Amino acid sequence: MPRAGLGAHAREASPARLDQLSRWGILAIVLALFTLSGGVLWYAGYNYDGLMGSALTKLHPATYLTLCVLGWRACVFGNPFGYLAHVGRLRPASLLLVLISLGALVSVILRQRPNMAGLVDTFLAAGLLALLLADMDERLRRQMEMLLHGVMTVNGLMALFEFATKILIFPYRFDGETFPTDLRSAALQGHPLVNATLTACYVLALMSGARQMSTPVRLGLILLQLAAMVAFGGRTAIVTVLVLGLTYGLWHSFGMVRRRRIHLMAAALILLGLCLVPVALAVLISGGFFDDLLGRFVSDGGSANARVEMFGLFQHFSLPDLLIGPDVELLESLRRISGLEWGIENPIIRMMLYQGAFFMALMFVGFALFMRELARGRAGSWLPMIAWLILINGSESLASKTTLMSKFAVILLCLYRTGERDRSMVSPLQPRPVIRH
């Protein structure tokens, strides 16, 4: 191929230059995404979590910002269709998710099925944001990373304040109504389970990503977020983080010892820390820090039973009903009769029942390819990815309206750089090379 042809091909495949307005717009999207929960928006007169009010308020402000910045980027590029083709070449799975979401949205509207806003905020917005970030350079990535660390630090501190005072600053609301008996911290992310899921993924991303961060700062952030997780009360999230985090930490430490890359002072500090952990836990337990969390393990409010009862709903419908989605009113009645007042706590089961198996399979393919694209080339991202896949299957999550998938995409794209080597994946049992003199 001629040299000129190679140059043209390289320009086609490389990210387009970001202008200053686009940079500020993307940072505004990330800030809105991680700070504007339904509880925060309620004080601005924006009823996001609820059925009443204007239809325009059912979409998150970050979704509107994403559409605006994406439109601006298309105009700056000079050719909107050319821009779509450009970002589609860089992020084909994201473009596929957008197209599947648009097709599913049309189907939901024509069939008058529920969760139209959920499709937009959950799937369409995540795909559009990933396309927008296809042109992200290292400078923007660093800015987004610093913003993410700042917001999550504030979120953790707010959680501990609410936990200590029992005063929720921005409580979770539905149509303006709070839940007085639920005193779990809401912080900036709203619902405690959303907080727990997001924090768990962030903690594991701090462990295996954020390579440019110093070890003391990283450790401090991890400890803060672990304490905040107790305030959020997410049992599954806490167990998942402990199991995955300890496994990763032990494997990584063993590998460093085998490769003789650990300093004596660092080893001494680690041993000292391990000795102090039981003392710290004893003090916290005696002070009642874990009382609420332990209470949730003892009594789960019927959550475990609900995960069993939801399978009984299938026996009431025929195969054609399950393929295209049964009658919604009948499904709602059966759900309440079965004691599932709080919903169907699994996104696959919920989407299959409310939208149909064909619809669910289509969205599953788009989601799986999207997750693969986000993780590809980002060494270490497998750790939060495992936690993410476990946690989203413990509640309605992606089958309802949520911005969780967009937030998770931002965490992966910010805290992991493509092309970095994941040292934890080097087996500690691998023999060291023999150097012959």
Q: Is residue 289 part of a domain?
A: no
Q: For the chain, what is the mean pLDDT?
A: 85
When pLDDT is cut at 50, 70 and 90, the band that residue 59 belongs to is very high
- The answer to whether the beta carbons of residues 202 and 152 sit under 8 Å apart is yes
β-bridge partners, 177: 174
Q: Using CA atoms, how far apart are residues 421 and 300, in angstroms rounded to an integer?
A: 41
Q: Is residue 25 part of a domain?
A: yes
DSSP one-letter string for 58-94: GS-HHHHHHHHHHHHHHHHHS-HHHHHHHHHHH-HHH
DSSP one-letter string for 198-220: HHHHHHHHHHHS-TTS-HHHHHH
**For 9-13, 277-281, 328-332, which range has the lowest pLDDT when averaged over its residues?**
9-13
Q: Is residue 4 part of a domain?
A: no
- The answer to whether the beta carbons of residues 36 and 61 sit under 8 Å apart is yes
When pLDDT is cut at 50, 70 and 90, the band that residue 260 belongs to is low
Q: Is residue 10 part of a domain?
A: no
Q: What is the pLDDT of residue 14?
A: 52
Q: Mean pLDDT across the stretch 242-265? A: 74
Angle at 75 between CA 62 and CA 376, to 5 degrees: 60
Pick from 263, 225, 256: which is nearest to 242 by CA?
225
Question: Which position has the higher pLDDT, 299 or 182?
Answer: 182
Is residue 374's pLDDT more than 50? yes
Q: Is residue 292 part of a domain?
A: no
When pLDDT is cut at 50, 70 and 90, the band that residue 394 belongs to is confident
Both tokens of 11, joined, read: 């320009």
The count of domains in the chain is: 1
Burial of 166 (0-12, 13-18, 19+ CB in 10 A): exposed
Question: Which position has the higher pLDDT, 418 or 72?
Answer: 72
Q: Is residue 200 part of a domain?
A: yes
Task: Provide the Cα torsion 130, 135, 136, 140; round to 10°.
Answer: -130
Positive or negative torsion for Cα 299, 304, 306, 308: negative
Q: Is residue 122 part of a domain?
A: yes
What percent of the chain stands above pLDDT 70?
80
Range of the domain at 190: 16-262+346-418
Is residue 435's pLDDT more than 50? no
Q: Is residue 271 part of a domain?
A: no
Q: Using CA atoms, how far apart are residues 234 and 237, in angstroms rounded to an integer?
A: 5
Q: Using CA atoms, how far apart are residues 418 and 429, in angstroms rounded to an integer?
A: 26
